Structure 1
């Protein structure tokens, strides 16, 4: 079996990856299953940084829809990502994977502040690093935070792990006959206004030639196959 093509990855997860059957909250069983998938990739010799969303706990747009201040709604979302980060760290540590949580908003009693060189050092020492609280600023999604952090730590690829097995021309849940793309350029993805990654994140990756892989997190061996460079999901690059 071939070794990994990518030695350092930024794995972007939705908060729903930790949710139970209802799609909300944090399921310890789901967290353990997710941690096992991450551990399998780690054991390939891959350095892993993770950014996780908070859709299982809070969606800022719901607050804004009810006239909540956008900055406040986004700050609540950032805090929710830290809760998810702690839950995932706990699951990984229980499986014997050394893990650190760093946050863009300082909360030293429970996590390290995000320091780029320290994050890189953790990766070099074989630790998984979970980067919480987004960018620390409102109006930026966790997708954008993932793209930014990927470039800061010199990741080889950004892997967006979702519940969909790639990028489609239409929502496959609405149109089962929608065409799936195996590969797209950054410009094609921007023109399609793909919903799996926001345009700011796509533009950042395009400006710095960072490849993106969109895949189904829960397909067997999908992460391992992607890291080995096998065709899985949708590849977005130049």
Structure 2
């Protein structure tokens, strides 16, 4: 059974409490767990950024603002765990060792952030390296990797397949402030390069895209692979 780590953006899973997609994702994650050993790292999304914005208005430093955001990621992770029921490990790991121990249960492992100045994408990349994952799936709010932010530049070019070095070139200008939100951050990109773990970017605005790509082999996102191989071939 292949091992995968999914980074699920908070803006995808919980754009707001009232319009969350937890039920949709929990059903699909249960399906994936029949085919893969699944680890999920959940972001904070809009709710985390609301807390961070208010913290800044109060004059709170960036590291402490990040701590608030991490707490929100763990709340989101807890909601997903409870929605998954018996399919999930019943507590939310707060570090990588706890996550690896949880993985020994054979259940879906769900966690949030770990430390200030580190996005949940970076947490996912480090977890993928520690767990020896076969590939890393970034579930985000765009349909792949582009030369620029397609929301800001409609003329941005979408890449179906690129190398880790090309990914680093694209994300090297991304910011590191609390609540930073890009397709994947610089730290995550560097970890993926050194580990050689392939990256699959999937548009999570339609949760069914996960099933289509990882179970049915119908994929339309972007691949980052050291040797150019597609980790989804043969699915």
Aligned-partner Cα distance in 2 for 1:49–1:170: 29
Residue 121 of structure 1, aligned match among 93, 104, 116: 104
Residue 26 of structure 2, aligned match among 16, 32, 35: 35
Matched, 1:78 2:66: no
Report the equivalent of 1:233: 221
Query: Closer, same or farther in 2 for the Cα pair 1:191/1:32, shift >3 Å?
Result: same
The alpha-carbon deviation at position 58 of structure 1 amounts to: 1.4
* Structure with more of its chain in helix, by fraction: 2
Report the equivalent of 2:133: 155
Report the equivalent of 1:109: none
Moved more, 217-226 or 65-74: 217-226
Residue 24 of structure 1, aligned match among 7, 16, 36: 16
Query: Closer, same or farther in 2 for the Cα pair 1:146/1:26, shift >3 Å?
Result: farther
Q: Matched residue pairs, number?
A: 214
Verify the 8 A CA contact 1:158 1:213 in the aligned structure 2.
yes
Verify the 8 A CA contact 1:18 1:25 in the aligned structure 2.
no
Matched, 1:217 2:204: yes
Residue 88 of structure 1, aligned match among 80, 101, 106: 80
The alpha-carbon deviation at position 157 of structure 1 amounts to: 0.8
Query: Closer, same or farther in 2 for the Cα pair 1:231/1:117, shift >3 Å?
Result: closer
Aligned-partner Cα distance in 2 for 1:80–1:222: 25
Matched, 1:130 2:110: yes
Report the equivalent of 1:140: 118
SS at match of 1:158: strand
TM-score under structure 2 length normalisation: 0.81
Aligned-partner Cα distance in 2 for 1:119–1:214: 25
SS at match of 2:90: strand
RMSD over aligned Cα, in angstroms?
2.4
The alpha-carbon deviation at position 143 of structure 1 amounts to: 1.1
1:2-36 residue CA offsets vs partner (Å, 9 max, x unmatched)? xxxx71110101112233xxx333646x2111212
Query: Closer, same or farther in 2 for the Cα pair 1:79/1:118, shift >3 Å?
Result: same
5+ long unaligned stretches in structure 1: 1-5, 106-112
TM-score under structure 1 length normalisation: 0.80
Verify the 8 A CA contact 1:225 1:232 in the aligned structure 2.
no
Verify the 8 A CA contact 1:181 1:234 in the aligned structure 2.
yes
Verify the 8 A CA contact 1:163 1:218 in the aligned structure 2.
yes
